[in-house]
Amino acid sequence: MSFETDISRIEEIAQKLNASDTSLEESIALFEEGMRLAKALEKALAEAKRSVEIVLGDDPREAEITVLQ
Amino acid sequence: MDNLLATELSVSELTSLIKQTLEQGFYGLKVTGEISNFRPSSSGHWFFTLKDASCSISAVMFKGSTWKVDFTPQEGDKVTVTGGLDVYGARGTYQLKCDTMEKSGFGQILAMLEMRKRHYASLGYFDEKSKKAIPKRPLRVGVVTSPTGAALQDILNILERRAPSLDVLVLPATVQGEGAASSIAKRIQQANNLLLCDVLIVGRGGGSIEDLLPFSEESVIEAIHASEIPVVSAVGHEIDWALSDFVADLRAPTPSAAAELVSQGYLDYRNQVAHLHVQLQRSIENRLLLAESKIRRFDTKAMEARIGSIISAKEYLLANAGNTLVIAQKQLLKSYAGRVELAIRELQALSPLAILARGYAVVQNQEGKLVASRKQAEPGSLLTLTFTDGSRKALVKE
């Protein structure tokens, strides 16, 4: 799942939650789904899991890459 | 002056004459030389020597002028100063008192850059329509800069804070001096050849105009122009510029700003998700409040009150109906009573007793039978005579 589709899904859920014809049971299920997605997204966006690397060597046709210290 | 040869002078008089001659004769000068023995004083004045290959001259620049110079002179800097000569009598020395200072050749560099800028502008290198969009949420950011510079640290820090999941690839380059331009250009080409990233930051921290020159070199301009990967130019401080700023797809005022620009999409996402998070909570709260308010109509107290009010209304109706019944019954009884009285009166009119009142009497024998004939009343028999107010016994004589 991409950020895009996840965010659109949360937006859709928020919209449905605000609609008066959504039943209470449905609302609670939607809410739980939305919160799960939101928390997962927040975690994914805030979690430091990047790699920082540096190119070694000067050859423009190949690049040896190593982790930046 | 004519009789100077014949005059005996004191040191002060001579010094005064020299001062007059030098200061009035040498003003409005423009002198180019190399800075040497630079000694800034704690009071803000600059003392230094200006020299060239064979000569040197003491120079001073007072605080009132130094603040207008936008760089701090370094040993060996070639500068052009304006000013005049100044004689310091107490020591018998003369020096160059500087009013302005600029790096020598500054004007030529600017003129050269301006010419080059016009040249590339005429080739359409700076056209807005040829600029590529910077991806909103790149997956890997390439940074062409010095691996040891403060600019790289700034970029890494900002990216970590704003988009901690975004990968970074450093393409180390020499960013000033000999070979810098070709080093920068090669890294840009390398990133493109191997498609190492989806956005490139090309830049360095602040420095003198000469320090920034590699970013205005033709090889760098060509490399940026040819780059398939969108390029953000981030050279020096806000006030600095290089031709890379014009040819790049986006100009960032500083390396930090470039990091902010490429991570903006992630930050927007984080804000959007946080906002949605709050919105979800608010929506479900509202939804629950609504449900609760619907249920509240059925709680014990409210039900009691409602049923109580229904019952009391019925009770009232019932009480009312009872009343009506009693009244109706009373009326019925009253009408019966009237009818009974009437009947009694009629009966009374027909009663034999009423006849007795007019002087008649009922005659009965001993057995209680009515005696209606003389034959039934034998002499010597005992009869009962009933009058209207009671009875008497009578003996038949004949």
pLDDT digits (tens, 9 = 90+) for B121-157: 999 999 999 999 999 999 999 999 999 999 999 999 9
C-beta atoms of B168 and A50 within 8 A:
yes
C-beta atoms of B284 and A3 within 8 A:
no
Angle between helices B150-162 and B255-296 (to 10 degrees): 10
Residue B240 lies inside a defined structural domain of this protein: yes
Q: Check if the beta carbon of residue B287 is closer than 8 Å to that of residue A17.
A: yes
Reported residue count of chain A is 69
Residues B203 and B257 in one domain: yes
Segment A18-36 shows an average pLDDT of: 86
pLDDT of residue B1: 53
Reported residue count of chain B is 398
Residues B184 and B123 in one domain: yes
Could you give the CA distance from residue B92 to residue B86 in angstroms, rounded to a whole number?
A: 11
C-beta atoms of B276 and A42 within 8 A:
no
Query: Comparing C-alpha atoms, which of B100, B99, B74 is closest to residue B210?
Result: B74
Residue B236 lies inside a defined structural domain of this protein: yes
Partners of B48 in beta bridges: B59
Tell me the residue range of the domain where B388 lies. 353-395
Total structural domains in chain B? 3
How many Cβ atoms sit within 10 Å of the Cβ of residue B389? 7
Among A38, A55, A62, the residue with its CB nearest the CB of B276 is A38
Residues B34 and B159 in one domain: no
* Pairwise pLDDT comparison (A58 vs B250), residue with the higher score: B250
Residues B62 and B141 in one domain: no
CA atoms within 13 A on the CB side of B252: 26
Q: Check if the beta carbon of residue B262 is closer than 8 Å to that of residue B138.
A: yes
Alpha-carbon gap: A25 to the closest alpha carbon of chain B (Å):
10
Could you give the CA distance from residue B199 to residue B168 in angstroms, rounded to a whole number?
A: 10
Residues B75 and B113 in one domain: no
| Residue ending a domain, choose from B211, B236, B267 | B267
pLDDT of residue B2: 58
| Residue ending a domain, choose from B104, B130, B148 | B104
Contacts of A10 in chain B (CB under 8 A): 273, 276, 280
How many Cβ atoms sit within 10 Å of the Cβ of residue B295? 9
How many Cβ atoms sit within 10 Å of the Cβ of residue B214? 26
Residues B120 and B255 in one domain: yes
Query: Comparing C-alpha atoms, which of B277, B275, B216 is closest to residue B247?
Result: B216
How many Cβ atoms sit within 10 Å of the Cβ of residue B179? 12
Residues B211 and B152 in one domain: yes
Could you give the CA distance from residue A56 to residue A63 in angstroms, rounded to a whole number?
A: 7
Residues B162 and B221 in one domain: yes
Among A10, A47, A51, the residue with its CB nearest the CB of B276 is A10
Q: Check if the beta carbon of residue B183 is closer than 8 Å to that of residue B173.
A: yes
% of chain B with per-residue pLDDT over 70: 99
Radius of gyration of chain B (CA): 66
pLDDT of residue A66: 86
Contacts of A55 in chain B (CB under 8 A): 169-172, 187, 190, 196
Contacts of B283 in chain A (CB under 8 A): 14, 17-18, 31
pLDDT of residue B376: 84
Distance of CA B143 to the CA centre of its chain: 31
Could you give the CA distance from residue B398 to residue B393 in angstroms, rounded to a whole number?
A: 16
| Cβ-based neighbours of B71, under 8 Å, separated by 6 or more | B103, B208
- Dump pLDDT digits (tens) for B251-290: 999 999 999 999 999 999 999 999 999 999 998 888 888 8
Residue B19 lies inside a defined structural domain of this protein: yes
Segment A1-26 shows an average pLDDT of: 84
| Residue ending a domain, choose from B73, B104, B135 | B104
Residues B126 and B90 in one domain: no
DSSP assigned state of B370 = B
C-beta atoms of A13 and B280 within 8 A:
yes
Domain borders along chain A are: 3-67
How many Cβ atoms sit within 10 Å of the Cβ of residue B371? 17
In A, minimum Cα distance to B279 occurs at A14
pLDDT of residue B99: 95
Could you give the CA distance from residue B227 to residue B374 in angstroms, rounded to a whole number?
A: 166
DSSP assigned state of B150 = H
| Cβ-based neighbours of A28, under 8 Å, separated by 6 or more | B284
Among A11, A13, A49, the residue with its CB nearest the CB of B165 is A49
Contacts of B165 in chain A (CB under 8 A): 44-45, 47-50
Which residues in chain B come in under a pLDDT of 50? Answer: none
User: Which CATH number do you get for residue B64?
Assistant: 2.40.50.140
Is the pLDDT reported for residue A49 higher than 90? no
State the ipTM, two decimals: 0.84
Residues B250 and B382 in one domain: no
Contacts of A24 in chain B (CB under 8 A): 287-288, 291
Residues B127 and B149 in one domain: yes
Contacts of A53 in chain B (CB under 8 A): 167-170
Distance of CA B72 to the CA centre of its chain: 43
CA distances from B144 to B21, B167, B231, B257 (A): 58, 14, 10, 15
Q: Exposed, middle or buried, B236 (CB in 10 Å: 0-12/13-18/19+)? A: buried
Residue B222 lies inside a defined structural domain of this protein: yes
Q: Taking the C-alpha atoms of B114, B120, B124 and B125 in order, what is their torsion angle to the nearest 10 degrees?
A: -110
C-beta atoms of B291 and A24 within 8 A:
yes
User: Which CATH number do you get for residue B195?
Assistant: 3.40.50.2300
Residue B365 lies inside a defined structural domain of this protein: yes
Best B139, B182, B283, B294 residue to mutate vs chain A (most A CBs within 10 Å): B283
Mean pLDDT of chain A: 85
Residues B209 and B114 in one domain: yes
Alpha-carbon gap: B216 to the closest alpha carbon of chain A (Å):
21
Contacts of A62 in chain B (CB under 8 A): 194
pLDDT of residue B114: 93
